[in-house]
């Protein structure tokens, strides 16, 4: 227990050192913390706030303002569905709705069984091949509700994906 606490403190110390204690680099620091832990654990946010000598509320404001921050652990797999204009016009809005219903997952939430986190995002910049879904960093273009459903049903509940582009 004591050891894990030490590790946790080391993570924060490393991150803060990386950015020379510069409060202006709060967002990159929190991004690094999330990359390290998969989300922003509350006790780590406490430590980070204390080290930078800023109120915790400031970190909370940042964490809730930017959509890429998570305050809860993520699922085993990362699913990003583009609902940018072109993808939306080509049906991704309806796909998103149907997937959320079928897998009982909220936007930017995680399925009850922890299988995957689901992020409908506004444009991944691959509009020419819309609609696009990204699963663990792998792009699927020209998806339909059926193909998206098949991809998600095929996700392995045991195997965590290798570190991929989308999670870097």
Partner 1 sequence: MTVVGMERLSTTADLERLREDLRKRRDPAAKCVRVCIGPGCVAKGAMRLHELFTEAVRQTGADVAIEAKGVGCHGLCERGPLVIVHPGNIFYQRVEEPDVAEIFRETVLGGRVVERLLYEDPATGERARTADGIPFYKAQQRIALAHCGVIDPASLEDYIAAGGYSALAKALTTMTPEQVLQEVERSGLRGRGGGGFPTGRKWRSCRNAAGEPKYVICNGDEGDPGAFMDRVVMEGDPHAVLEGMVIGAYAIGSSQGYIYVRNEYPLSVDRLKGAIGQARELGLLGEDILGTGFSFDIRINRGGGAFVCGESTALMASLEGRPGEPRAKYVHTVEHGLHDKPTNLNNVETWANVPAIINHGAKWFASIGTEKSTGTKVFSLVGDVVNTGLVEVPMGITLRRIIEAIGGGVQGGKAFKAVQTGGPSGGCIPAEHLDAQVDFDQLTKLGSMMGSGGMIVMDEDTCMVNVARYFTNFLRDESCGKCTPCREGLAQMLSILDRITHGEGEVGDVERLQAMAVLLEGTAMCALGKTAANPALSTIRYFRDEYDAHILEKRCPAKECRGLFRYAIDAEACKACGLCKKHCPVDAISGEKKVPHVIDQEKCTLCGTCFEKCPFDAVLKV
Binding site for partner 1 (CB under 8 A): 23-28, 31, 58, 61-62, 65-69, 84-89, 93, 121-130, 132, 139-141, 165-166, 168
User: Which CB sits closer to partner 1, 124 or 152?
Assistant: 124
- Residue 2 Cβ, how far from partner 1 at the closest point, in Å? 31
Distance (Å, rounded) from C-alpha 138 to C-alpha 125? 14
All residues at 6 or more sequence positions from 13 whose CB lies less than 8 Å from its CB, including other chains: 51
Instruction: With beta carbons less than 8 A apart as the criterion, state whether 64 and 33 touch.
Output: no
Phi/psi zone of residue 115: left (φ > 0), alpha (ψ -120 to 50 degrees), beta? alpha
User: Which CB sits closer to partner 1, 115 or 132?
Assistant: 132
- Residue 94 Cβ, how far from partner 1 at the closest point, in Å? 9
- Residue 167 Cβ, how far from partner 1 at the closest point, in Å? 8
User: Which CB sits closer to partner 1, 8 or 86?
Assistant: 86
User: Which CB sits closer to partner 1, 3 or 31?
Assistant: 31
Distance (Å, rounded) from C-alpha 74 to C-alpha 110? 6
Question: What angle separates helix 92-102 from helix 145-153, to the nearest 10 degrees?
Answer: 40
- Residue 3 Cβ, how far from partner 1 at the closest point, in Å? 31
User: Which CB sits closer to partner 1, 13 or 94?
Assistant: 94
Question: What CA dihedral angle connects 89, 167, 103 and 125, to 10 degrees?
Answer: 0
Q: What is the DSSP string of 85-117?
A: HHHHHTTHHHHHHHHHHHTT--TTEE-TTSSEE
- Residue 157 Cβ, how far from partner 1 at the closest point, in Å? 26
């Amino acid at each position: 227990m004591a050891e894990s606490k030490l590790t946790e403190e080391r993570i924060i110390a490393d991150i803060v050192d990386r950015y020379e204690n510069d409060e202006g680099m709060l967002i990159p620091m929190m991004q690094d913390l999330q990359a390290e832990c998969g989300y922003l654990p509350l006790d780590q946010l406490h430590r980070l706030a204390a080290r930078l000598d800023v109120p915790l509320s400031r970190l909370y404001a940042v964490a809730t303002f930017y959509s890429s921050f998570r305050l809860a652990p993520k699922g085993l797999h990362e699913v990003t569905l583009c609902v940018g204009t072109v993808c939306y016009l080509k049906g991704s809005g309806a796909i998103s709705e149907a997937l959320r219903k079928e897998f009982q997952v909220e936007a930017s939430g995680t399925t009850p069984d922890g299988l995957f986190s689901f992020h409908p995002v506004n444009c991944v910049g691959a509009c020419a091949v819309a609609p696009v879904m990204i699963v663990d960093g792998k792009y699927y273009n020209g998806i339909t509700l059926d193909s998206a459903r098949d991809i998600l049903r095929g996700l392995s509940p045991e195997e965590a994906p290798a570190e991929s582009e989308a999670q870097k």
